Amino acid sequence: RSRVFSVSIKDRGAILPGGHLGKAFWYNSNTGKFVTSTYYYQEYPGWVTAWNNANHADRYRDQEWTLLHDRSTYIYRDQDDRPSEKSYKHLGRTFPHPLNAEKDSDYYKGLRYASMGDELTLSFVKELMQQEQLGQGKETDMLAVSFSVTDYIGHAFGPNSLEAEDNLLRLDATLADFFAYIDETVGLANTMIVLSSDHGIDAVPEYKQSLGLAAGRHYPEKFLAQVNAELKQRFNTDADLVSTFWNPSLYLDLAEVEKLSVSVETVERALVEAILKVPGFAFAVTRTDLLAGRVTDHPVMNKLQRAFHPTRSGNVLIVQDPFWYLYPNPDEFAAMHGSPYTYDTYVPIMFAG
């Protein structure tokens, strides 16, 4: 009789924490509504329809995201217009960030890149708590809320940006509002709070370089061309033997490999040798060795072994050096996560109650 609900501005941020038996809601960035699926409901609960019809996302039109405090009080007050920052369309790279846009879909998508997106999430959560009477019964209910604007802002501007710093200050206020509402409706004395993060993030590589650290961005089309050129020379072929990169996998064109008088394993090992000649790569391991369990007993290699999927992973799995950006579209985001290093894999977790 206990109930589980999960809410986020991101679909995966709602679906995963809610598990198989929970009810999940997430933000549709095309419409500004919170949605669910037929996995959870055959019809929308009436209160969700009413909340959506009130167009809560429109309250921020013609507003700007401004600094919460005086600029002089911020650690990153001088980090407001770095070339590596990736503005989402109308928002721009500097404060104040205008929220309105010519197209509705751009406006709704833009809310994910401003702290107002978390405020909107909390507004929906409060309505859910009230309408579903969470915490009012004899059994323990679970509510999972992912305030995911931090993720969008971190990707677009980097964690060492003025935007990220101001967002954390505003997130602190949003959490205070959330906890106060819980105290008012359920009582904090009757609530266990668990606060954590789903992953870490590295600083923008260009920022790391300014500190004198070895860092950089991998451009897939560049290193694919480099390793394909080496494989062409080694196997005397005109064909590109590596067809696709999807982090962390390199996929061979097996039809082209079949034309050669060598095994797939031989080409895999040649690809490992080629990729490790490219500056900024730390590890590479073949599919053949992963299937056979022949990997070095090393923390990173052990993580690759656990991440490997026999029917989905590629022929060679690669890991970048620390502080190197590795993603299929290196110019899409300022900063990225997904490495096996501690700055990505270690997150705080706090319990209260």
- The per-residue pLDDT for 262 is 97
Reported pTM: 0.93
Q: Is the pLDDT of residue 104 over 80?
A: yes
Q: What is the mean pLDDT of residues 237-258?
A: 97
Q: 14 and 24 in contact (C-beta within 8 Å)? A: yes
Q: 208 and 153 in contact (C-beta within 8 Å)? A: no
* Nearest CA among 162, 274, 164 for reference residue 227: 274
Query: What residues does CATH 3.40.720.10 cover in the chain?
Result: 4-191
How many other C-beta atoms can be found within 10 angstroms of the C-beta atom of residue 5?
22
Q: 174 and 147 in contact (C-beta within 8 Å)? A: yes
Percent of the chain predicted with pLDDT > 90: 96
Q: 224 and 318 in contact (C-beta within 8 Å)? A: no
Q: What is the mean pLDDT of residues 210-230?
A: 96
Report residue 330's pLDDT band, with 50, 70 and 90 as the boundaries. confident
DSSP output for 82-112: -TT----GGG-SSSSEE---SSHHHHHHHGG
Q: Is the pLDDT of residue 203 over 80?
A: yes
Measured between alpha carbons, how far is 121 from 130 in angstroms, rounded to an integer?
Answer: 14
Q: Is the pLDDT of residue 242 over 90?
A: yes
Highest mean pLDDT among 124-128, 197-201, 294-298: 124-128
Report residue 191's pLDDT band, with 50, 70 and 90 as the boundaries. very high
DSSP output for 35-47: E--TTT-SS--HH
Hey, is 293 helix, strand or coil? coil
Average pLDDT, the chain: 96
Q: Which residues contact 198 (CB under 8 A, 6 or more apart)?
A: 13, 146, 347
Measured between alpha carbons, how far is 201 from 209 in angstroms, rounded to an integer?
Answer: 16
Query: What residues form DSSP beta bridges with 145?
Result: 7
Beta strands in 125-212 (DSSP E): 142-146, 193-196
Q: What is the mean pLDDT of residues 306-328?
A: 96
Q: Which residues contact 2 (CB under 8 A, 6 or more apart)?
A: 139, 140, 141, 142
CATH class of the domain at 4-191: alpha beta
Q: Which CATH number is associated with domain 216-325?
A: 3.30.1360.150
pLDDT digit string (tens) for 38-86? 999 999 999 999 999 999 999 999 899 999 999 999 999 998 999 999 9
* Nearest CA among 85, 54, 248 for reference residue 162: 85
Q: Is the pLDDT of residue 329 over 90?
A: no
- The per-residue pLDDT for 331 is 81
Cis amide leading into 248 (omega within 30): yes
Query: What residues does CATH 3.30.1360.150 cover in the chain?
Result: 216-325
Measured between alpha carbons, how far is 135 from 178 in angstroms, rounded to an integer?
Answer: 14
Report residue 107's pLDDT band, with 50, 70 and 90 as the boundaries. very high
